């Protein structure tokens, strides 16, 4: 397997990072996860923009421009002969003496890992997964803003451990005000039946970014599809009782796409029509994106 490290492809056995790297010592860095469908990186520009945003929120300069990062990504995919893959970009503050001052590090470390995509079990999509609302609260926006996709993932890991202890696959975190935020690697949506908020149609609800969440790229696509297809949408502040009363729940992220939820804590849900509709429409969106990129002339990045 080949990995892209700083400025070139190397064998994964030779891809070594210093024990003095501040990504390792302090979690000082940012990352992105992308999905590759049939050789095409889905929503590449959006992921690179978010990487850039995360990096600038911690005062870290990208060592490469967007086009060079795209080349690095496609070189890594091609070197590993991948079609359906998972790509992880890691950007750390880099090597430097022990100490928190970012100026101790002269060069960031940049890594691209591409691996064959491992499908989630079919039963997850057929039956839905179980979520547990964790005691661990989501990071405060004014402490570590969840909009920074940072290498410091302990907040999420602690919540994930709680979920696993309770036999759930994913945790949901509340913020310090008790409002729903997101999962450890996902955004959450639920459907309130007609009448719940005074409306006449079911309402698709999701915590707003002001609650302190990562504004997932999948979340954005799902919201756009919902609006386009006439589903009423409400981004806002919700409590655990709101989700307990919901008729459908699902979570989203780049690798899971739209994943139905069958249980949150002790409350069960049926696989609902809105979840099914959005899952199908999301897959169509992916197909259209891939076809469009492939049809847009000779490949600059060599994915054909």
What is the DSSP pairing of strand 257-264 with strand 248-253? antiparallel
Concerning whether 141 is annotated as a catalytic residue, the answer is no
Q: If you ran DSSP here, which 8-state letter would residue 138 be given?
A: P
Which of 3, 27, 163 has its CA nearest to residue 79? 3
d(CA 101, CA 259): 41
Per CB under 6 A, 263 contacts ligand PLP: no
Per CB under 6 A, 181 contacts ligand PLP: no
Q: How far is the CB of 20 from ligand PLP (least distance, A)?
A: 27
Nearer to ligand PLP, 105 or 136 (CB): 136
Q: How far is the CB of 187 from ligand PLP (least distance, A)?
A: 5
Per CB under 6 A, 78 contacts ligand PLP: no
Residue ranges in 20-49 that form contacts with ligand PLP under rule CB under 6 A? 33
Q: How far is the CB of 6 from ligand PLP (least distance, A)?
A: 24
The active-site residue out of 83, 149, 160, 294 is 149
d(CA 44, CA 74): 11
From 36, 58, 69, 217, residue interacting with ligand PLP (rule: CB under 6 A): 217
d(CA 204, CA 197): 11
From 30, 132, 214, 231, residue interacting with ligand PLP (rule: CB under 6 A): 214
Cα 177 to Cα 2, 212, 237, 277: the distances in Å are 45, 11, 10, 32
Reported as half-sphere exposure (CB side, CA atoms, 13 A), residue 94 has a value of 16
Catalytic residues: 149
Q: Using CB under 6 A as the criterion, which residues of the chain lie in contact with ligand PLP when the complex forms? A: 33, 156, 182, 185-187, 214, 216-219, 252-254
């Amino acid at each position: 397997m080949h990995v892209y490290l700083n400025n070139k492809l190397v064998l994964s056995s030779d891809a070594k990072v210093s024990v003095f790297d501040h990504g390792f010592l302090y979690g000082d860095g940012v990352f992105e996860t992308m999905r590759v469908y049939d050789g095409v990186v889905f929503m590449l520009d959006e992921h690179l923009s978010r990487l850039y945003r995360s990096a600038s929120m911690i005062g870290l300069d990208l060592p490469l421009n967007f086009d060079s990062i795209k080349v690095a990504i496609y070189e890594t995919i091609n070197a590993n002969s991948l079609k359906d893959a998972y790509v992880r970009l890691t950007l750390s503050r880099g090597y430097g003496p022990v100490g928190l001052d970012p100026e101790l590090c002269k060069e960031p470390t940049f890594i691209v890992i591409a691996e064959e995509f491992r499908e989630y079990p079919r039963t997850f999509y057929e039956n839905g997964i179980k979520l547990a609302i964790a005691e661990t609260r989501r990071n405060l926006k004014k402490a570590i803003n969840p909009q920074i996709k940072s290498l410091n993932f302990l907040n999420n890991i602690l919540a994930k451990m709680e979920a696993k202890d309770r036999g759930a696959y994913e945790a949901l975190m509340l913020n310090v005000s008790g409002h729903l935020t997101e999962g450890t690697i996902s955004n959450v949506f639920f459907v309130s039946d007609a009448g719940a908020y005074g409306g006449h149609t079911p309402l698709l609800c999701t915590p707003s970014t002001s609650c302190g969440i990562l504004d997932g790229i999948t979340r954005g696509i799902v919201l756009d599809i919902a609006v386009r297809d006439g589903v009423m949408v409400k981004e806002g502040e919700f409590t655990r009782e709101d989700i307990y009363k919901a008729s459908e729940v699902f979570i989203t992220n780049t690798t899971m796409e739209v994943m139905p939820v069958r249980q949150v804590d002790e409350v069960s849900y049926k696989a609902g029509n809105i979840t099914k509709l959005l899952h199908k429409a999301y897959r169509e969106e992916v197909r259209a994106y891939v076809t469009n990129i492939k049809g847009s002339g000779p490949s600059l990045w060599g994915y054909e």
